[in-house]
Chains A and B, each alone.
Chain A
Amino acid sequence: MELGTAFVMGILLGGLYGLVALGLSLIFGVVREMNLAHGDFVVLGSYFAYTIVTACGIDPILSLALGVPVFLVIGYVLQRFLLNYACRISHDTVLLVTFGISVVLQNVFHITWGPLSRNLTTPYTLSGLAFGRFHIPLPYLLDFLAAALFMTALYLFLKHTYLGRAIRAVAQEPTAAQLVGVNVERVHAITFGIATALCAVAGVFLGMTFSFTPSTGPAFLIMAFGVVVLGGLGSIVGTLIAGILFGLVQTLSGHFFGVVTQTLASYVMALVVLSIFPKGLFGK
């Protein structure tokens, strides 16, 4: 892989990583929980799309028409009827519960779809576009476009709608939010639903870019968390930039040290980020 190409691909991929992290950022910032199964939800998104694609033969991106609403509901229900109670017991409990969910999900994947890797390639994912010296595989471009689209949509939603403002309010001052009539529990559930729906989107595009297995989840969790910490809670642009940095670290590491080191590189970067920003960029 040529260096310039690796660079560009890293940036494009980073957009998608930003999207993965965005959901986690919402959960961490608004609901004040950590979802250890976040990466597995992304993989669930991939497998979900895979099922629809193999059953109906439609394009994976189109499958999102079903995937997004379904995941919205899954996230809402999970938060409203399980994690809500876990959170009241203690913060540790949420970690334990989401860890349990992660284990369950990974093994459900294993049983249902087997241990072999799958992917969501279509005839066009194998093609690419040429920009001067660079030949960029199409999925990477689509990844970035999708990320940009959904990030913009989320930004507009948070800025200009009553519900969006309520979500931001809950993130900043949950008590005061109650005092203006916001049902904080419901907002938590809706936010979790949105975050899970973002996982569905990320799952589709990641499945089109890479292959996935039942145990791909944790890698996404670690990376998403690193991006969240680096990008800062509450900043969509920050998350995008941090995502791009992680994308670059991955592709550049692949270029210099070989493809096998890519995941390892993002882990090391995540640990480094955590060490430098022990409480995140906007420490609480």
Chain B
Amino acid sequence: MTNPTEKDEVLLSVEDLEVSYGPFKVLMGVSLVVKKGEVVAVVGANGAGKSTLLNTIAGLLPIRRGKIIFEGKEITRAPAYARVHMGIALVPEGRRIFPELNVLENLLLGSYPKHARDDSKENLRRVFDLFPILEKRQKQSAKTLSGGEQQMLAIGRALMSKPKLLLLDEMSLGLAPLVVDSLYAAIEKIRLEGTTILFVEQNVRKSLSHSDRGYLMKGGKIALCGPSRDLLRERSIRQAYFGISEGK
């Protein structure tokens, strides 16, 4: 049983975020909260702004208005690389592994931040335990890995920096269901080790089944939020995403 006060500690707080690509508004006032130890899912259709939200939290996109607060400190203007040193790690959409480097080099780069270097051997062990196939393919060039293996590599790389908050963008995109299941199993294990997770998925049912709380995004705004279990039962979601019609 976790300490009640620790359970409610807010790790990440996003307030009224507005992000635009040039003249196009993508995020129009998004607020969310992630508490320590939680797994939070952000779901929604294509183009709702989910990836933009994660990229902004990671520091890859400039903010027009709003605030991002991490561990009580405002990081709105912090550059992306600095946020990694603070303990935020993003596994981006498309994985973006380093193609010409081998698996081991990719992982070692994950421990580039100074605070992670001392424990790199330890962390490497943990990543290999989590994804044994990566250990097997250590010396292989990353571009020769399958899609699922590359995703594992990307997650492993992010874990090498000992993140306090792990961000996952469309982890299951383009992967076979069996592979996706193994990834979610890995996420469970990561969660059990105490890492807080915020992830974005198009697969609403799967993501809500594997998270504590969820946010539904529509058109650049938060449309619904609450405990994932409740959201799964929520009529509008079931109609919109599960194709279940209950009368009219």
A: residues with CB less than 8 A from B are 162, 165-166, 168-169, 172-173, 175-184, 234
Residues of A within 8 A of B100 (CB): 168, 172, 234
Q: Interface stretch among B14-22, B107-115, B175-183, B186-194? A: B107-115
Residue contacts A-B, CB under 8 angstroms, 10 given: A162-B109, A162-B117, A166-B112, A169-B109, A172-B99, A180-B110, A180-B160, A180-B161, A181-B85, A181-B113
A residues in contact with B160, CB < 8 Å? 180
Q: A162-B112, A166-B109, A184-B81 given as contacts; is B89 within 8 A of A179 (CB)? A: yes
Q: Does B80 contact A (CB under 8 A)?
A: yes
Measured between beta carbons, the chain B residues less than 8 angstroms from A182 are 81, 109, 112
* 6 extra A-B contacts, CB within 8 A, seeds A173-B98, A176-B92: A165-B105, A169-B101, A169-B109, A180-B84, A180-B157, A184-B81
**Given A173-B96, A175-B92, A175-B96 in contact, is the A180-B101 Cβ separation under 8 Å?**
no
Contact B112 A176 (CB under 8 A): no
| A residues less than 8 Å from B82 (CB atoms) | 183
Q: CB distance A180 to B92 under 8 Å?
A: no
A262 to B116, CA, bound (A): 53
Q: Which of B56-87 contact A (CB under 8 A)?
A: 58-60, 79-82, 84-85
Asked whether A165 and B101 contact (CB < 8 A) given A176-B92, A181-B113, A184-B81, the answer is: yes
With contacts A175-B92, A176-B92 known, is A181 near B81, CB below 8 A? Answer: yes
Given the complex of chains A and B, what is the CA–CA distance between A32 and B39 in angstroms? 39
A-chain residues with CB within 8 Å of residue B101 when the two chains form the complex: 165, 168-169, 172
Interface residue B41 (Cβ < 8 Å from any Cβ of A):
no
A-side contacts of B109, CB under 8 Å: 162, 165-166, 169, 177, 180, 182
Whether B112 and A180, one on each chain, are in contact in the complex, defined by CB atoms closer than 8 angstroms, is: yes
Residues of B within 8 A of A169 (CB): 98, 101, 109
Complex Cα–Cα for A162 and B100 (A): 16
| Residue contact B81 to A165, C-beta cutoff 8 Å | no
Lowest 8 A-B CB distances belong to which pairs? A181-B84, A176-B96, A181-B113, A178-B80, A183-B81, A172-B98, A181-B112, A180-B112
Question: Among the listed B60, B85, B108, B113, which residue makes an inter-chain contact with A175, where contact means beta carbons less than 8 Å apart?
Answer: B60
CB pair A179–B85 under 8 Å, yes or no, is no
Q: Encode contact with A along B26-60: 1 for CB under 8 Å, 0 otherwise.
A: 00000000000000000000000000000000111
Determine if A181 and B161 form an interchain contact, defined as CB atoms under 8 angstroms apart: yes
- Measured between beta carbons, the chain A residues less than 8 angstroms from B110 are 180
Closest chain-B Cβ to A259's Cβ sits at a distance in Å of 41
Q: Using Cβ atoms and an 8 Å threshold, which residues of chain A touch B81?
A: 178, 181-184
CA distance A182 to B82 in the complex (A): 8
Cα-based distance from A180 to B84 in the complex (angstroms): 6
Number of A-B pairs, beta carbon distance below 8 Å: 73
Residue in B89, B92, B108 whose beta carbon sits within 8 Å of that of A165 in the complex: B108
Residue from A168, A179, A182, A183 whose CB has the most chain B CB atoms within 10 Å: A179
Q: Which residue of A lies closest to B88 (CB)?
A: A179
B90 in contact (CB, < 8 A)? yes
Task: Please give, as numbers and ranges, the residues of chain A lying within 8 Å of B79 by CB-CB distance.
Answer: 178, 183
Of all chain B residues, the one with the shortest Cβ separation from A179 is: B90
Closest-by-CB residue of B relative to A166 is B112
Minimum distance in angstroms from B211 CB to a CB of chain A: 22
Q: Are A173 and B85 in contact (CB under 8 A)?
A: no
How far is the CB of A170 from the nearest CB of chain B, in Å?
10
A234–B98 Cα distance when bound, in Å, is 13
The yes or no answer to B97 lying at the interface (CB within 8 A) is yes
Within 8 A of A (CB), among B152-185: 157-158, 160-161
Q: Which residues of B contact A162 (CB under 8 A)?
A: 108-109, 112, 117
Closest to B107 in A: A180
Query: Hey, which chain A residues are within 8 Å of B59, CB to CB?
Result: 178
Contacts of B96 in A (CB 8 A): 173, 175-176, 179
Residues of B within 8 A of A183 (CB): 79, 81-82
| A179 near B98: Cβ-Cβ < 8 Å | no
> What is the minimal beta-carbon distance from A105 to any residue of chain B, in angstroms?
33
CB proximity of B143 to chain A, nearest CB, Å: 10
> Complex Cα distance A176/B105, Å?
14
Residues of A within 8 A of B85 (CB): 181
With A172-B99, A172-B101, A173-B96: A179-B117 Cβ-Cβ less than 8 Å: no
A179 contacts B112, CB within 8 Å?
no
Q: Which residue of B lies closest to A162 (CB)?
A: B112
Complex Cα–Cα for A254 and B92 (A): 55
Contact residues in B for A178 (Cβ distance below 8 Å): 59-60, 79-81, 84
A175 nearest CB across to chain B (Å): 6
Cα of A273 to Cα of B59 in the assembled complex, Å: 41
Q: Which of A168, A169, A184 has the most CB of B within 10 A?
A: A169
